[in-house]
A and B are shown apart, each in its own frame.
Chain A
Amino acid sequence: MNRYPVWKFVLMALAVLIGLLYTVPNLYGSAPAVQVSAASLTTKVGTDTAAQVEQLLAAASVKPDYVTFEGSTVHARFATTDTQIHARDVINAGLNAGADKDAPPYSVALNMVPRAPRWMASLHALPMYLGLDLRGGVHFLLQVDLKAALDKKIESLVTDTRTTLREKQLRAAVTRDGNAVTMVFHDAATATQAVGVLTDAFPTIQWTSTPDGADVHVRGVLKPAELIKAQDQAIKQNMTTLGNRVAGLGTSEPVIQQQGADRIVVELPGIQDTAKARELIGRTATLSIRMVDQTAAASADNPDDDVFPNSPDVARRNGPTTIVKKEVVASGDDLADAQPNFDSQSSAAIVKLQMNAKGARRMREVSSQNVGKLMSIVLFEKNKGQVISVATIQSELGENFQISGSFTSEEASELALLLRSGALAAPMEFIEETAIGPSLGADNIAKGLHSVAWGFVAILVFMCAYYLLFGVISTLSLGVNLLMLVAVLSLIQTTLTLPGIAAIALTLGMAIDANVLVNERIREELRAGSAPQTAISAGYERAWATILDSNITTLIAGLSLLMFGSGAVRGFAIVHCLGILTSMFSAVFFSRGLVNLWYGRQKKLKSILIGQVWKGGAQQPGNVPQPDDLEDGEAAAAAGKRPRVAR
């Protein structure tokens, strides 16, 4: 009865193997590396950069373990910190050769990468990501003011509605009413016509008309789905902008995540200087739209002109620099949106721009006088300008216009990103910030690991002494539980924090409960006189229902924490919930397998090593000494006749 079919043993072996595979990367630690990332919005880091880094290293005869390009950064791993520092200098000198010292195109930084072999990484066996409390760094929680983003949208909707109606010569007083646009028409026919025009022009708005005497009120609100989409877009754009801003920092694995509906978490490992980080995150790249000086007077010495270097894309067509007029036509604040698109006629890649009312007025004014001339867009980063677009004005421009050129669709989307990068879709406020020193992080890891290790050892010693072989099996399966838990956590790439480590410890401490239940039950069965094989079988079977029940109640608590918790609590809850699930597998299925493996084949099993089973007084209900407790003879009879266990 205590035998497993072969497939169950195979499953056990597989669980251990997979557990090992995904746990091991955590044990390798980290290796020194050099990270190359773009320090400027117009720099592109790609496989070419990786090849370039390889060449530079080869030329300086520095041998890296490997050079890879992943995401948006190039990493080169080295054996020692000495070669790492030397390599950093070599790469920095090579990539940023001839560039301005204060605004280099590439950021070359010292960094750490996992030391685990590459084949493991290709199986997605990566170490867990350590939270800031374990590695040091800064953490920011930013509150995005979505109301402001919505305000901006409604404001521009009011203006747009006015313009559209004026173009169609429909007279109405357009006003803003909270998050709605309202207007009054004096006759029904105009109202109907207006609703038709507006529905065509603004499909994302719900237009409703209500008659009021002779007048008709028309009210437009953003459709609910569009409202959510708009808010989502605002958050996404803010995250992209933040991503651009921290990219040049050279920190390893910056985290930018949405938390809840309107918050963004920014975590920057390896930095403790909150003031500097805050300044960097708050920094805005600014844009300005200016006319190119095409007159004879154009020169770098002309007091009315500025000379800016061109971005790589522009430089390919227009040479290294452009002379533009000092006078600013419109600034980044006037730009509401920029999106890559395709021209409906030529199907060439274009960038569509949308200006706000003030910007549109200025564009109209300037462009009508300058048809056929060149207009440029200059991007300022760290007070250094760079021309990112030069285009000919074809006709008078207004609120919406497009930049076309011989773009590839990729270039168009990059330009659109650059144009948007300056702007935040909604203002943000810092509502939480934490800076953790590197020594504290290392300290926390040590403390967490010691807690788990010593607690585990204490349980191991006790269980082995108390339950002998069954104690050994219990601790083995507890070990498998730990292995699987760490493996699952690594596999889903959770961020391990100190509360997470505490949860591992606590989960292990709680998981032993299942083994204790089983072992106690087996002892009880033995005490009641069952044969060893029967006792094992009955012990596991009867304990199972209890284990399931008790784990479910624990899981309910864990899930509630997961639902409502954030930050530290969330890290705790994820580990806790997963630990409960793995413990059910290890404590029941796995430990049973080990018992079966050991005892299952012995047909004439006389005794099992589960520690002393005291048979001095088989415990029975009703075996209460006070006679007044016994209602009648039956209880006494029950005491005399041992109730048998059904099997």
Chain B
Amino acid sequence: MEFFRIRRDIPFMRHALVFNIVSLLTFLAAVFFLVTRGLNFSIEFTGGTAVEATYVQTADLERLRGVVSGLGYGDVQVQNYGTSHDVIIRVPTKAGIDQKLVPSHVFEALCKAESGAVGTKTETTAKGESITRPSCDAGSAEPVVLKRSELVGPSVGDELMRNGAYAMISVVIGIMLYLAFRFEWKFSIAAIVANLHDVVIILGFFAAFQWEFSLSVLAGVLAVLGYSVNESVVIFDRIRETFRRFRKLTTMQVIDHAITSTISRTIITHFCTQMMVLSMLIFGGPTLHYFAMALTIGICFGIYSSVFVAAAIAMWLGVKREDLVHTGTKAAVDPNDPNAGAVV
């Protein structure tokens, strides 16, 4: 089986301008959404309380909203989480409310709405571990079970934001330094511009659809940043090699050749990675959903930007043979020698 039967180099760079305009438009759209809508940060960043509960029956969100808003916590969000039986209730921090009591109060209210009473249950799991948990007893049944509660103080959020920004900056600087050292500063700028624009596009999606931006999404975004820089590195590596092997080609031809000869690995690798990510999207449940979503967007735009955008930027920055192939002793090699410039 072979998918890619490319007879001759595809003249990608001839359309460089089109590619760059497309990516500029996407970028601007992403920025537009980021500015107008902003990111929907999870409570890890904003501080607040989240309570996750499972109902035996399908949860009636409208009714639940009524129940929870009766507690006077202000702008409370009630949503399904994963299945129609699971709900998540997010309560923002509000002055004058003791955050510590929010989870138990919310659960109490939920339990009362099912005409049950909150109690504490100690049970032994099948594996033989004893567990104590709050329970909602209504006769013999438990109409609602508390699955998870999370409470984040407001001070933690600021620090997370700051650390997230630091992590992003250090990734960018680290990668730029490495590429500048390994290749050339023009490549380093091209790669980082191309891939940062991916990051902005991912964030743009999260802003446009108001998907929840959590810590794990941030981790996914940064991982994908490192991953799609990979992509550019593979192509740059090939550009350098082509410069060495074929001395007569123009920069544009060299880039076209490098992209064409790596396109098959690019597609196959991304396809494999995407299969893994898809598996997370399908089987990973709500916790991994947005993480996998960020990766999916990152992978798709990663191909586009590192293949078409990074190389084009490098071209416009004026990458030359001399930047990559260190002339000197090798310059004396006979250009007609079939092995000229080949380096192992």
Contact = CB atoms under 8 A, between A and B. Distances in A.
Interface string A385-415: 0000000000000000000000000000000
B134 interface: yes
B6 interface: yes
Contact of B283 (A454, A513, A616, A635): A454
Contact of B248 (A31, A33, A638): A638
Interface stretch (B64-72, B200-208, B336-344): B336-344
Interface in B244-261: 245-246, 248-250, 253-254, 256-257, 260-261
Contacts of B275: 455, 458-459, 462, 509
Contacts of A629: 11, 253
B233 A549 contact: yes
B327 interface: no
Nearest to A546: B237
Contacts of B178: 552-553, 556
Interface string B163-183: 110111011001100110010
B150 A433 contact: yes
B229 A619 contact: no
A434 interface: yes
Given A110-B124, A624-B253, A505 B276 contact: yes
B248 A272 contact: no
Contacts of A613: 2
Contacts of B126: 81
Contact of A434 (B8, B54, B151, B231): B151
Nearest to A269: B129
A612 B2 contact: yes
Interface stretch (A155-163, A181-189, A320-328, A568-576): A568-576
Contacts of B273: 506, 509-510, 512-513
B164 A646 contact: no
A5 B276 CA distance: 35
Interface string A438-472: 11100110011011101110110011011000000
Interface string A327-347: 000000000000000000000
B130 A109 contact: yes
Range of interface residues on chain B?
Answer: 35 or more
User: Is chain B's interface secondary structure helix, strand, loop, or mixed overall?
Assistant: helix
B190 to A, nearest CB: 14
Contacts of B216: 499, 502, 568-569, 572
A624 B147 contact: no
Interface in A508-562: 508-510, 512-513, 516-517, 520, 523-524, 541-542, 545-546, 549-561
A621 B257 contact: yes
A137 to B, nearest CB: 9
Contacts of B89: none
Contact of B7 (A81, A271, A508, A616): A616
A459 B150 contact: no
Nearest to A81: B128
Contact of B342 (A451, A516, A631, A646): A646
Given A444-B285, A553-B226, A560-B171, A451 B280 contact: yes
User: Is chain A's interface secondary structure helix, strand, loop, or mixed overall?
Assistant: helix
B133 A619 contact: no
Given A272-B133, A553-B226, A621-B242, A434 B120 contact: no
Contact of B156 (A432, A435, A463, A510): A432
Contact of B280 (A252, A436, A502): A502
B58 interface: no
Contacts of B33: none
B97 interface: no
B332 interface: no
A576 B223 contact: yes
Given A510-B273, A561-B223, A569-B218, A621 B249 contact: yes
Contact of A459 (B222, B227, B261, B276): B276
Contacts of B227: 510, 554, 557
Interface string B88-129: 000000000000100110000000000000001000111111
B276 A458 contact: yes
Contacts of A542: 241
**Most B CB atoms within 10 A — which of A513, A641, A647?**
A513
A259 to B, nearest CB: 11
A557 B6 contact: no
A545 B272 contact: no
A466 B103 CA distance: 52
A635 to B, nearest CB: 6
Given A550-B233, A635-B248, A430 B131 contact: no
Contacts of A635: 248-249, 253
Contacts, number: 356
B277 interface: yes
Interface string A620-647: 1111111001010011001001011111
A401 B153 CA distance: 42
A560 B222 contact: yes
B132 A271 contact: yes
Nearest to B295: A506
Contact of A451 (B125, B219, B288): B288
Contact of A112 (B129, B182, B241): B129
Contacts of B128: 30-33, 78, 81, 84, 110-112
Contacts of A646: 339, 342-344
Given A81-B128, A557-B226, A623 B8 contact: yes
Contact of A432 (B11, B129, B153, B220): B153
Interface string A215-240: 00000000000000000000000000
A159 B16 CA distance: 76
B149 interface: yes
Given A459-B272, A546-B234, A631-B250, A619 B260 contact: yes
Contacts of A29: 127
A451 B283 contact: yes
A563 B253 contact: no
B225 interface: yes
B276 A509 contact: yes
Contact of A569 (B133, B170, B219): B219
A85 B100 CA distance: 35
A270 B124 CA distance: 10
A487 interface: no
Nearest to B237: A546
Interface stretch (A116-124, A195-203, A274-282, A601-609): A274-282
A141 interface: yes
A136 interface: yes
Given A447-B285, A557-B226, A564-B170, A30 B127 contact: yes
Contacts of B153: 143, 429-432
Contact of B269 (A78, A143, A506, A512): A512
Given A553-B229, A559-B174, A619 B7 contact: yes
B111 to A, nearest CB: 14
Given A110-B124, A459-B276, A563 B100 contact: no
Interface of B: 1-2, 5-9, 11, 52, 54, 100, 103-104, 120, 124-134, 145-153, 155-156, 160, 163-164, 166-168, 170-171, 174-175, 178-179, 182, 215-216, 218-220, 222-223, 225-227, 229-231, 233-234, 237-238, 241-242, 245-246, 248-250, 253-254, 256-257, 260-262, 264-265, 268-269, 271-280, 282-285, 287-288, 291-292, 295, 338-339, 342-344
Top 5 nearest A-B pairs (CB, nearest first) are: A32-B128, A557-B226, A509-B276, A455-B279, A646-B342
14 contacts: A434-B148, A435-B146, A437-B146, A451-B276, A506-B280, A509-B273, A542-B241, A553-B229, A557-B225, A566-B160, A620-B9, A622-B9, A645-B342, A646-B344
